[in-house]
Amino acid sequence: MAGGAASLVPCPPYGDWSFPSNHSAIAGAAAVALALAVPRLAVLTLPMAVLMAFSRVFVGVHYPHDVGMGLLLGASLGALAVALLTGPMTRVIAAVQGSGIRAAVWFTGPGPARHP
């Protein structure tokens, strides 16, 4: 940007591919997955993912389109993973809770399987 502040680190040169941003993809996936699992966390996780993406541009290691696509890719895959894994994981956790093994029940937490 003309007249903008200099970045802390120069952007990667041509041939040093940074698209999409790995940090932004991980932040987007974690934020969306946590927000879907515990909706009240969305107020915290989603802005933090955007802040993580912004920080990658701010320090000069990514271009805005790198982090934008990273967030989009991560959020999409996070939502897909939650949609595909919720049913199977619910069944696994119910089986573990129903096993009666004290350590397994402690690890998975109390749930409907413990209180029929």
Domain ranges of the chain: 22-84
Grade residue 89 by pLDDT with cuts at 50, 70 and 90. Answer: confident
**What mean pLDDT is predicted for residues 70-74?**
92
| Euclidean distance between CA atoms 51 and 97, whole angstroms | 38
63 Cβ contact list (under 8 Å, min separation 6): 11, 18, 19, 57
What pTM, to 2 d.p., does this model score?
A: 0.68
pLDDT digit string, tens, across residues 91-114? 888 887 777 788 877 777 766 543
